[in-house]
Amino acid sequence: MTGWSIRIYLLCDELLWAVRLNLLWIAFTLLGGVLLGIGPATVAAYAVARRHAMGESFHVRSAFAAVYRREFARGSLLVLPLLAAGVVLAGDYLYFTASGAAALRLTTYAALVALVVVAAYLLPMYAHYDLRPLACLPKASLFALTRPAASVLLLFCLAAAVVAVSSFPILALTVAVGGWIQLNTWLCLRFFAENEARLHPKGTI
């Protein structure tokens, strides 16, 4: 196989993986009645995305189901407060936009962006490290503050995904969530590795 054919094959393989991850996330979210299912389904998706990004071979459906059952309570504790905060901030943003309160609108928008960035670190961090859900929030917040370039990159990737879904809504049901989770995980694993290498250089104890 030529170099280009290998790249195309790998791209198609990753696209199919994102579709599978997307469908599993939707199915297990619905299995929990949406509200109770979205937390553990999201945590499970990030857990298998991490294993995939690290090159592991495993049975995806059984691995997803195992994490879903194990993290049913903790997944909700981790994800539902983020969703609730996001819904409140989005509602406030729309209200302040309609009322013409520019200062409050900008403040709410900044808070919403900060929440998105922290969540983009928090979920891969929980999948990668052995941390309690409540312990992840301050660590993810600190990471977001100390890595501004990485945070901007994550925001750019998420914005591109949102634009794509807005233009082609079918992507939301087929690949958007799975693709974002895998890309988010892949990027954050590299950010975490770079941070660990900076904190613990080779040759030091």
Q: Which of 1-15, 31-45, 60-74, 148-162 has the lowest mean pLDDT?
A: 1-15
- Looking at residues 156-182, what average pLDDT do you find? 94
How distant is the alpha carbon of residue 95 from its chain centre?
Answer: 27
**Domain chopping of the chain, boundaries:** 3-199
pTM above 0.75, yes or no: yes
Q: Is the pLDDT of residue 3 over 80?
A: no
Contact 192, 125 (CB under 8 A): yes
User: Sorting pLDDT into bands at 50, 70 and 90, what band is 6?
Assistant: confident
User: Sorting pLDDT into bands at 50, 70 and 90, what band is 205?
Assistant: very low
Percent of the chain with pLDDT over 70: 97
Chain position carrying tokens 């981790």: 78
- Looking at residues 26-34, what average pLDDT do you find? 96
CA angle 50, 55, 59 (to 5 degrees): 75
The confidence score (pLDDT) of residue 10 equals: 82
Q: Is the pLDDT of residue 204 over 60?
A: no
User: Sorting pLDDT into bands at 50, 70 and 90, what band is 1?
Assistant: low
Give the integer Cα–Cα distance in Å for 157 and 27: 25
